[in-house]
Structure 1
């Protein structure tokens, strides 16, 4: 190789370029591939780093080499990767002179690393591409594609912090392209960034929207829909989450998902049991199982126990430990408001597996944030729920038998009055049902009287 390079160096400037290019073809055509990488290294080093060759010839030579490598001139994956990495290393000292060729090599190396599923290294290679240099600036749509690709690779490696940095750069360029595939990748990155940032409600809505896009493969759409359900379950309990749960529950495709059971229970406001939560937890990704810290104020409030009770608390937990833990506790608290008119701090703590003080703290926060309708009586250590008033109006009818006469009676305290009225309505409904069954001949009068 040294003798051939010496012959090329002795040629005139106009003859050097064809001579070096013919050497590339000659080296790549060798049957013994073990000598290709070292000979190409010597050749690239000579052309790029020796001033006698010239910048014009060097760029022409590197552009042709990049073209050959990109066109599959070397079929062996490991050999091609080695040559690309070595060429990048050799041209590092002359980066500004060969910026366009170096960028093209970086794109090729990122493709090779992505094939190997080395996501973080592929992202690092793309980060090294000069997008806004003084000599050559890429158009906005090309920058946007590069940023989205970096975000996608970082999210595969679950590096959400750095991914969000490049996502913010991409946002300002989102109007620069009309390419449908790129925009879909951008929307998917939006959803995943919200997911990793624990903005689960926002992520669920974006995932669900993407699950309807016909251009996406059917299996992938099913995975996106499953991600939407997972994020909806993990979202903070309240009216906004209820709307998202309703949208997902009414989606016919949700019935085929493994998470449909917990989705239906949350939508129908059923209390979740530990075994169901454990089964769902096994399907979560690491960032969705992140530990959460309890503030010092909440720890202090949770430590206040029911001093009047002689019975010890059923739990010593001061608050939820994970995102899922918090979501389930808040849901069970919301579900209990559909069942009970009121509940003691101790009773709610037993339901949520928390100390009475911690249960009161969770209820207080949800009431403050408008996610739970109710009030707290700290004297009697009771939580009163306001969610059952609409149902009271509908309890006057039983099985379509018509209106049951309701007689108002002043019984003193408002809560005693409400309790007595519910007993009266229930007894009237039972009586109406028995009379209806007797008219149909399904129940004998004597049996009903007994």
Structure 2
């Protein structure tokens, strides 16, 4: 190869480019080792020893041939592309367009090998602003979205968010459906990694309805929506998200439907159910959470052990995101069952110290996620009924606000009466069902 190139040294610049290019088909017919060596010599000679015009002609042809699949061996192709990029790198300003094309080829190979991090780094080196040409905003958006997707596959959410923010500024510039869907998926995953689980659940659920996405991928997005809904902070906003997911008929087929239904119906979750759900979570969803010094100090209080209440644990707060979500849910569920509860009783229910249980309840009340108040003298947490339910009953049938002529009892007595009515109704329904099945028979009572 060196001898042939030496023969071309005396040619004019006009003829030298076509002469070099004529050697490329001959090189590609050789054994693998010779292809790699001779292409490296050809590119080095054209780029470093000849004029810029000849170098661009030769390098453009090499890029075109490689892109058309002239080298079938992926390993050899990867080595050739990497060597060519290294050769061009010292004079990258003169060969930006050709280097960009080589980077895209190398990124495709690395992505096929599932080397997500290396593929993302290769694409980060793509030059978007050059003297040779200007890159359209739509092309920049496509590149940024691809980098974000690769970084998220590697679970590098911090760097992924940087490129996501760049993509967000350009999302208006594209009408390409595939790119916009990929951007929305990145948006959901970024929210997931950032522990903005309510936003993530809503976006995953929205994407699970898109017909252009493969059915299996839509099922995965629906499952991700349920997971994020479960991990979200307990409160009215999460209740709305869980209601939307629970009413979706497709969620009944998911393994996580059991915990979804229990959370939606405000049932207290048991350790075995939590353990089963925990095994389905990803690494970032099992991240440890730190307890602030103020919370630690507050959690240490009220543990004098002088009461007959059930013994509480020594835990001063949740240790993981799932731990916190379950504790807050069980606290919210207990407010549907009890009128009030002692600090120690709540601590036993949540597997926390009484001080930590009070701290969690206080925070949820402050944030408007739990209705109630705290009596620190008697060490009691009083739960309040949801006023929206009372208002709905008062306005039933479009009668508007109904003023009662007489107060028939206290607020808590009304709640107790309601619970008795519901229990009686459930018993009557069970008896009727058993009677229809012929399992019991009703004997008329004679006076």
| TM-score higher than 0.5 | yes
TM-fit CA distance, 1:34: 1.6
Q: Which segment is superposed worse, 124-133 or 305-314?
A: 305-314
TM-fit CA distance, 1:20: 0.4
Aligned to 1:422: 416
Q: Do the aligned residues in 2 keep the contact of 1:338 with 1:388 (CA within 8 Å)?
A: no
Q: 1:360 aligns with which of 342, 349, 358?
A: 358
Distance in 2, Cα, partners of 1:296 & 1:88: 53
C-alpha distance 57-241 of structure 1, shift in aligned 2 (>3 A)? same
Aligned to 1:110: 107
Q: Which segment is superposed worse, 383-392 or 421-430?
A: 421-430
Aligned to 2:5: 5
TM-fit CA distance, 1:310: 4.8
Q: 1:78 aligns with which of 75, 88, 106?
A: 75
TM-fit CA distance, 1:392: 8.2
- What SS is found at the alignment partner of 2:295? helix
**Residue 329 (str. 1) matches residue 323 (str. 2):** no
- For 1:142-193, what per-residue CA distance to the aligned partner results, in whole angstroms no more than 9, with x for missing partners? 1100000000000000000000000000011001110000000000000000
Q: Do the aligned residues in 2 keep the contact of 1:291 with 1:321 (CA within 8 Å)?
A: yes
Q: Do the aligned residues in 1 keep the contact of 2:59 with 2:98 (CA within 8 Å)?
A: yes
Aligned to 1:370: 368
- For 1:8-32, what per-residue CA distance to the aligned partner results, in whole angstroms no more than 9, with x for missing partners? 11212221111101111110112x2
Distance in 1, Cα, partners of 2:415 & 2:80: 85
Q: Do the aligned residues in 2 keep the contact of 1:341 with 1:388 (CA within 8 Å)?
A: no
TM-fit CA distance, 1:408: 6.3
- What SS is found at the alignment partner of 1:237? coil
TM-fit CA distance, 1:136: 2.7
Aligned to 1:221: 218
1:68-217 matched pairs, under 5 angstroms: 68-217=65-214
- What SS is found at the alignment partner of 2:382? strand
Aligned to 2:318: 320
C-alpha distance 443-422 of structure 1, shift in aligned 2 (>3 A)? farther
**Residue 18 (str. 1) matches residue 15 (str. 2):** no
Aligned to 2:48: 49
C-alpha distance 192-12 of structure 1, shift in aligned 2 (>3 A)? same
What's the Cα RMSD here? 2.7
Q: Do the aligned residues in 2 keep the contact of 1:342 with 1:382 (CA within 8 Å)?
A: yes
Q: TM-score, normalised by structure 1?
A: 0.89
Aligned to 2:396: none
5+ residue gaps, structure 2, are 394-405, 436-440
Q: TM-score, normalised by structure 2?
A: 0.89
Q: 1:384 aligns with which of 382, 385, 402?
A: 382
- What SS is found at the alignment partner of 2:306? coil
- For 1:76-112, what per-residue CA distance to the aligned partner results, in whole angstroms no more than 9, with x for missing partners? 0000000000000001111000000000000000000
Distance in 1, Cα, partners of 2:203 & 2:228: 10
TM-fit CA distance, 1:426: 4.0
C-alpha distance 216-420 of structure 1, shift in aligned 2 (>3 A)? closer
Aligned to 1:37: 36
TM-fit CA distance, 1:430: 6.1
Distance in 2, Cα, partners of 1:308 & 1:181: 61
- For 1:19-71, what per-residue CA distance to the aligned partner results, in whole angstroms no more than 9, with x for missing partners? 101111110112x2221101111111110011xx2111110111110000000
Distance in 2, Cα, partners of 1:425 & 1:192: 42
Distance in 2, Cα, partners of 1:47 & 1:183: 41
Distance in 1, Cα, partners of 2:255 & 2:423: 40
C-alpha distance 278-108 of structure 1, shift in aligned 2 (>3 A)? same
Distance in 1, Cα, partners of 2:208 & 2:182: 13
TM-fit CA distance, 1:208: 0.3
TM-fit CA distance, 1:389: 6.6
C-alpha distance 361-80 of structure 1, shift in aligned 2 (>3 A)? same
